[in-house]
Structure 1
Amino acid sequence: MTKALKASGFLGLAVMMAVGLHQFVILSGGSAVPPWMIGGHAHLGVLSILAIVMGFAVPALGVVGQLRTAVTGLFIAGQWGIPGIVWLGEGFGLTFLMPTGFLWGGALIASMLIMLYKTVTTEEAGGGGRAGVAPADD
């Protein structure tokens, strides 16, 4: 499951970079980039970086079973849903899709709340210090 988060993150970054290049072409042609394109680009970039981070955080916190499936599915849905509705709703005039932003945002929030739950209920392994590392004396 964490492979899906990491893969979605890297794919999202590739798509975000392609959109960024498209924006550069628009600017180079002397036109302004539409705000909806900028917004979707920014959201996809940030959420894709967070997807990669989540791919490492999920196993580190010991999220398993149905919670792991829920975190992964909810996060990936939100990662693509938020920029997707901005691009489709505003960019392609499908404004009837805009209210689904609450669904995609809710999916992201639910994913983060599951991670919060695991963070506060999971004991850290080890002493929390840097074992085997001597402090510098210079």
Structure 2
Amino acid sequence: MTKALKSSGFLGLAVMMAVGLHQFVILSGGDPVPPWMIGGHAHLGVLSILAIVMGFAVPALGVTGALRTAVTVLFIAGQWGIPGIVWLGEGLGLLFLMPTGFLWGLALIVSMLIMLYATLTEDVGAGGSGPAAMAPSDD
């Protein structure tokens, strides 16, 4: 599951960079970049970096089972959902999608609250356990 988070993060960064390059082409032509394109670009970049960090934090905190699946699925949904609705809603005029932003934002919040729970309930005596202690076949 952490492979999914890290992969989604790196894919998101590649997409964000491609959008940034497209914005540069728009600016080079003398036109302004639409605000919706800038907003989606920024959100995808930050959330993709966090997806990579989450890919390392989940095993480091020993999040397993259903909680691990929930964190992964909810975070990836929010990572792509937030910039996706900005680009589709504002960019393509599909404004009916805009209210789903609350769903994607809630998915991100719940994934962070699960990680908070994992942090607060982590066995302090286990010190030193983390990614190195995980079996290579864990992903």
TM-score, shorter chain, exceeding 0.5: yes
Runs of 4+ in 1 over 3 A off after TM superposition: none
Q: Structure 2: which 5+ runs fail to align? A: 129-139
Q: CA deviation at 1:63?
A: 0.3
Deviations 1:56-100 (A, max 9, x none): 000000000000000000000000000000000000000000000
Aligned to 2:91: 91
Q: Share of identical aligned residues, percent?
A: 88
Aligned to 2:51: 51
Within 2, Cα distance between the matches of 1:126 and 1:41?
Answer: 38
Q: CA deviation at 1:123?
A: 2.1
Q: CA deviation at 1:110?
A: 0.3
Aligned to 2:127: 126
Residue identity in the other structure for 1:9: G
Q: Give the 5 Å matches for 1:57-68.
A: 57-68=57-68
TM-score, with structure 1 as normaliser: 0.91
Q: RMSD of the alignment, in Å?
A: 0.9
Q: CA deviation at 1:126?
A: 2.9
TM-score, with structure 2 as normaliser: 0.90
Q: CA deviation at 1:26?
A: 0.1
Within 2, Cα distance between the matches of 1:113 and 1:126?
Answer: 22
Residue identity in the other structure for 1:3: K
Deviations 1:16-52 (A, max 9, x none): 0000000000000000000000000000000000000
Aligned to 1:72: 72
Q: Would you say 1:12 and 2:12 are equivalent positions?
A: yes
Larger radius of gyration: 1
Greater helix fraction, Structure 1 or Structure 2: 2
Deviations 1:116-136 (A, max 9, x none): 000000023338xxxxxxxxx
Deviations 1:101-127 (A, max 9, x none): 000000000000000000000023338
Aligned to 2:136: none
Instruction: Report how many residues are paired.
Output: 127
Within 2, Cα distance between the matches of 1:123 and 1:68?
Answer: 17
Residue identity in the other structure for 1:49: I
